Amino acid sequence: MTRDDRPTAILLLGPTAAGKTDTAIALHERCGCELISVDSAMVYRGMDIGTAKPSAEELARAPHRLIDIRDPAERYFGGGLPRGCPGRHGVDLCLRQTPLLVGGTMMYAKRLVEGVAEMPAADPELRETLRQRGEAHGYAALHAELAAVDPEAAAAIHPHNRQRLIRALEVKRVSGIALSEHWRRQQRENFPWRLLSIALAPADRGELHRRIAARFEAMLDGGFIEEVATLKNSGVTCISICPPCAVSVIVRRGSISTALTIATACSPEAWPPPASWPSVS
C-alpha cells in the first residue's frame, strides 16, 4: 500500500439545518481547526440571510476562509481551494492547524475534492426556454425528460432543484453528451489533503423538516425577502442561495406558505445517500 503523506483535513458534511456551522465553531474553539467554507453561495457578498451565513459575531469567534470573496455579479466555480498554488483565494496550504472544510452542497464538495468536469458554456436562451416550460408544465415534466435521456443524472437531481435540473438538460442539449457522462470523464485532481469525512445526519427526518421550517421562518423574519429584492434590483438574475427552489417563488411574488413548503420538502430529499459522499482519501 502506498503511504499517503499528505496532511489531514476534515470535511464536515450534512443536510441543511443539520448543525454544521455550530459544530464547526465548536471544533475550532476546542481543537483549533482552521475553518474553510465550501459553500458556493457564501462566497458572495450581500447573500447573508438566504445562505444562513455565519453571523458577524460567529465569524469573529471562528473566522471562515472563502466567505465574502466575490460580488454577486461575478461567476464563481467550485474548486476554489488551491491546486498547488499556496495562498490562492486566501487559502494557504501551509496552514498551522488542521483545516476543517464545512458547509455547502454535496455536489460542490465533490467538485472540490474530485475536480471539475469540462462542461459546455451556459446558453441563456435555452435556459430561459427550459424555465418557461417548467413553469408552464411543471418541473416534474422536465425531470421526466431528463430521466429519459440521462437516468443517472435524474436519479441524483431532485425535481425541486430547478437550477441543477435545467443545467443537466442544457448540458445534454448543447453538447450532445449526458451530464453523467461528463462526470465520468472528469479527471480526478490531486487534492492537497488526506480527507476525513464526517457527516451530521439526523436520524429523525421529521425533526430535520422542523429545523428547516424554523430556519426558513427565521430567514423571513430576518429580512430574506428584502435581501432577495435588493439582489434582484442590483441586476443579479441567478440567485443561488439557500433554499434556491423557494427563492424563485418569492422573487415572482408567490405564496410565502408555498415557498416554505417547497423549502422544507426539497432539502432533505436532495441529500444523497452515504455511498455518494466524498470518501476518505
Give dist(CA 127, CA 71) in Å, integer. Answer: 23
> What is the residue-averaged pLDDT of the chain?
77
pTM: 0.68
Of 18-22, 130-134, 162-166, 181-185, least confident by mean pLDDT is: 181-185
Does 47 score more than 60 pLDDT? yes
User: What 8-state DSSP symbol labels residue 33?
Assistant: P
Distant-in-sequence, close-in-space partners of 105: CB < 8 Å, separation ≥ 6: 39, 40
Every domain of the chain and the residues it spans: 8-117+189-203, 124-184, 205-270
Tell me the CATH architecture of domain 8-117+189-203. Answer: 3-Layer(aba) Sandwich (3.40)
Torsion over CA of 225, 228, 233 and 236, rounded to 10 degrees?
-170
Spatial contact of 266 and 243, defined as CB atoms under 8 Å apart: yes
Mean predicted confidence (pLDDT) in 51-63: 94
Q: Which amino acid would we find at residue 265?
A: A
Distant-in-sequence, close-in-space partners of 230: CB < 8 Å, separation ≥ 6: 46
> How would residue 82 be classed by pLDDT, with cut points 50, 70 and 90?
very low
Rounded (to 5) percent helix, strand, coil in the chain: 50, 10, 45
Q: Which amino acid would we find at residue 19?
A: G
pLDDT the model gives residue 87:
41
- The C-alpha cell that represents 109 in the structure block: 464538495
Class of the 124-184 domain? mainly alpha
